[in-house]
Structure 1
Amino acid sequence: MYIEITDETGKLDSSIIEQTEKVLAFAADYIHLSQSKEMAVIFVDNVRSHELNLQYRDTDRPTDVISLEYKPDEDEIFFDEDMEIPEGLMDEMDPFIGELFISTDKAEEQATDFGHSIEREYGWLTVHGFLHINGYDHYPVGGPEEAEMFRLQEEILTAYGLTR
């Protein structure tokens, strides 16, 4: 999987960037995601996180991670009306799956609040956002989707070695 990582804050330690790339590759293998997939991770501060949260989620506050899942628009790709589109062809034609925006400010706050390492917090935010852009969700709260997503998230983090 190709991962483009950008640190808009300019203050992130290179070990966190390296960990992010490794944990994403691990998570992709764990859920059997095609190696041809591509995604972006952008580390931002709370000001930018607030702007993005307002723009995409209509929520007027910063947040820890924003996941923007990308789904190709099949209507923009033209095939003969009688042509059957082979399963998986759309995935191969457009490998980009989405973007994660991770707030470095929130990561630092939450690592302190939850009493675990900053590495664990960045790993948690990365896997959480990654699962969102791959179709997992935790709404409605208390529902089976939430239980499945959080179970898988913890399973991936534990297998990777980022335990509480």
Structure 2
Amino acid sequence: MEIDLFDETNKITAEQKEMIQSILEFSGDYIHLEEETEMSILFVDNEKIKEINREFRFKDIPTDVISFALEDEVKDDFILDLAGFEGTVPRNIGDIVISVDKAIEQASEYGHTLDRELGFLSLHGFLHLNGYDHMEPDEEKEMFGLQKEILDAYGLER
């Protein structure tokens, strides 16, 4: 899986980027995602995520993570004609935006490390990109159960 990480805050260490890359690759294997999959994560501050939240979710507050799943928008509406093309076309599942400020706040509030919070938020966004949601009780049970299962299997427990 190809994961592009962009840090607008300059607060994410190389080790944290490696950990996030590792947990998402582990998660991709765990849910049997195709190897030729790509996505991106953008790390921002509270002000930037507040702007994004206002523009796309109509909520004028900072949040911890926002996911933009590409396949939600174009599920059956977009057909790419690859006749004559040799090679593999990666499947782009979308983009995740994480507020580093919120991650720091929540790590302190929940009494765990920033690494654990960044791993959790990255995985949470990743699951949204792969069709999981928590709007209904049964969806929430499934998504949060899978989240815990993956975090435990990876070894990033609370």
- TM exceeding 0.5: yes
Query: In 2 relative to 1, CA 76–145 (structure 1 residues): closer, same or farther, beyond 3 Å?
Result: closer
Aligned residue for 2:31? 31
Match of 2:79 among 59, 77, 80: 77
Match of 1:150 among 140, 144, 147: 144
SS at the partner of 2:12? Answer: coil
Larger Rg: 1
Give the C-alpha shift of residue 77 in structure 1: 2.8
Query: In 2 relative to 1, CA 76–155 (structure 1 residues): closer, same or farther, beyond 3 Å?
Result: closer
Q: How many residues align?
A: 150
Aligned residue for 2:85? none
Aligned residue for 1:60? 60
* Separation (CA, whole Å) in 1 of partners of 2:35 and 2:141: 27
Q: CA RMSD in A?
A: 1.5
Aligned residue for 1:10? 10
TM-score by length of 2: 0.90
Q: Is the 8 A contact 2:36 2:90 kept in 1?
A: no
Runs of 4+ in structure 1 displaced over 4 angstroms? none
TM-score by length of 1: 0.87
SS at the partner of 2:47? Answer: helix
Give the C-alpha shift of residue 76 in structure 1: 4.2
* Separation (CA, whole Å) in 2 of partners of 1:9 and 1:17: 13
Task: Return the letter of the residue paired with 1:119.
Answer: D
Give the C-alpha shift of residue 94 in structure 1: 5.7
Query: In 2 relative to 1, CA 150–76 (structure 1 residues): closer, same or farther, beyond 3 Å?
Result: closer
**After alignment, is 67-76 or 95-104 more displaced?**
67-76
Give the C-alpha shift of residue 11 in structure 1: 2.2
Query: In 2 relative to 1, CA 52–75 (structure 1 residues): closer, same or farther, beyond 3 Å?
Result: same
* Separation (CA, whole Å) in 2 of partners of 1:7 and 1:57: 22
Task: Return the letter of the residue paired with 1:96.
Answer: N
- Using the aligned pairs only, state the percent identity: 49
Give the C-alpha shift of residue 119 in structure 1: 1.0
